[in-house]
Amino acid sequence: MNIVVLVKQVPDTWSERTLRPADNTLDRDAADAVINELDEYAIEEGLRLTEAHGGEVTIVSMGPEKAAEAIRKALSMGADKAVHLSDAALRGSDGLVSSAVLANVIGRSPFDLVILGSESTDARMGTLAAMLAERLGVPQMSFASKVDVDGSKITIHRQADYGYDTVEATLPAVVSVVEKINEPRYPSFKGIMAAKKKPVETLTLADIGFDPAQAGLAASPTEVVSFANRPPRQAGTIVADEGDGGTKAAEFLAARKFI
């Protein structure tokens, strides 16, 4: 199987994330950059599927030069090769534009599956799998907590608020995964060493024949007009339990008319 796994480098949730006042886009210098957490589950699922059915995992990532770190991590987990799309003209691209560019990169080679995390921890739109399925004209198998492939048939459990749905389709398909699906492996020392020799193809928009005027902030159909830090919450009342903590909590709830 030819499996493409999408990887995005994002600002670390544990660091101070902010926007650039100049153009209201993500300030990539302000925060530490890490691989998007849910992408590790996508990589793991890709590796498990190729271990069971043969084939190879190709990482595709769009992002600045620094995103090479996230790609290297994916390769050290065991992916075979990578494509890194990096172009200054991409800066500030919104979700819709990013999906157009990624669909273009993915469509350059035949694939059986495209796997990605169900959302990124920075933008948290949760729309990319749907957009890619629409653009590539293949089934959308999203929010998967379980994936089974049997020949050309794919079955997933789609996680829902009420439990899950079983969904079937024929390959090729786009699959997005949720955390529940597996336990991502840690890169081994051998994996880290091997990753240094794995091929990474670096492409620009010109290389894929995508008009730079159609990418980036200016070409994006959405824009952030302004932003402000959320005002800090007012300090609340904290009491130590002296045998009446539950009663005091109930009094608070009653005062606020919750009971």
Partner 1 sequence: MAEILVLAEHDGETVKKVTTELLTLARAHGEPAVVWTGAGAEGAKARLAEFGAAKVYVADSSDYDDYLVAPKAELLAKLVTEKSPAAVLVAATSEGREIAGRLAVKTGSGVLTDVTGLADGMVAEQSIFGGAITVQSKVRTGTPIIAVRPNAVSPEPASGAASIEAVSADITDAAKTAKVTGRVVAERGERPELTEASIVVSGGRGLGSGEHFALIEQLADSLGAAVGASRAATDAGWYPHQFQVGQTGKTVSPQLYMAIGISGAIQHRAGMQTSKTIMVVNKDPEAPIFELADFGVVGDLFKVVPQLIEEIGKRSEG
Closer of 80 and 179 to partner 1 (Cβ): 179
| Minimum separation from the CB atom of position 67 to partner 1 (A) | 19
| Minimum separation from the CB atom of position 79 to partner 1 (A) | 21
For residue 52, the surrounding DSSP H or E stretch is: helix 37-53
C-alpha distances (whole Å) from 210 to each of 47, 101, 152, 259 are: 30, 7, 31, 59
| Minimum separation from the CB atom of position 233 to partner 1 (A) | 6
Q: Which long-range contacts (CB under 8 A, 24 or more apart) does 150-159 make?
A: 154/113
Closer of 189 and 238 to partner 1 (Cβ): 238
Q: Which residues contact 149 (CB under 8 A, 6 or more apart)?
A: 1, 49, 52, 53, 113, 171
Nearest residue to 59 via CA among 113, 5, 105, 114: 5
- Contact, 181 vs 144, CB < 8 A? yes
Closer of 58 and 118 to partner 1 (Cβ): 118
Closer of 75 and 149 to partner 1 (Cβ): 149
| Minimum separation from the CB atom of position 200 to partner 1 (A) | 27
How many other CB atoms are there within 10 angstroms of residue 103's CB atom?
19
Q: Which residues contact 213 (CB under 8 A, 6 or more apart)?
A: 219
Nearest residue to 44 via CA among 175, 163, 193: 175
C-alpha distances (whole Å) from 37 to each of 70, 79, 101, 176 are: 11, 16, 22, 13
Q: Which two three-digit tokens encode residue 202? A: 């670096």
Closer of 196 and 230 to partner 1 (Cβ): 230
| Minimum separation from the CB atom of position 104 to partner 1 (A) | 13
| Minimum separation from the CB atom of position 244 to partner 1 (A) | 8
Closer of 75 and 154 to partner 1 (Cβ): 154
Closer of 75 and 116 to partner 1 (Cβ): 116
| Minimum separation from the CB atom of position 231 to partner 1 (A) | 9
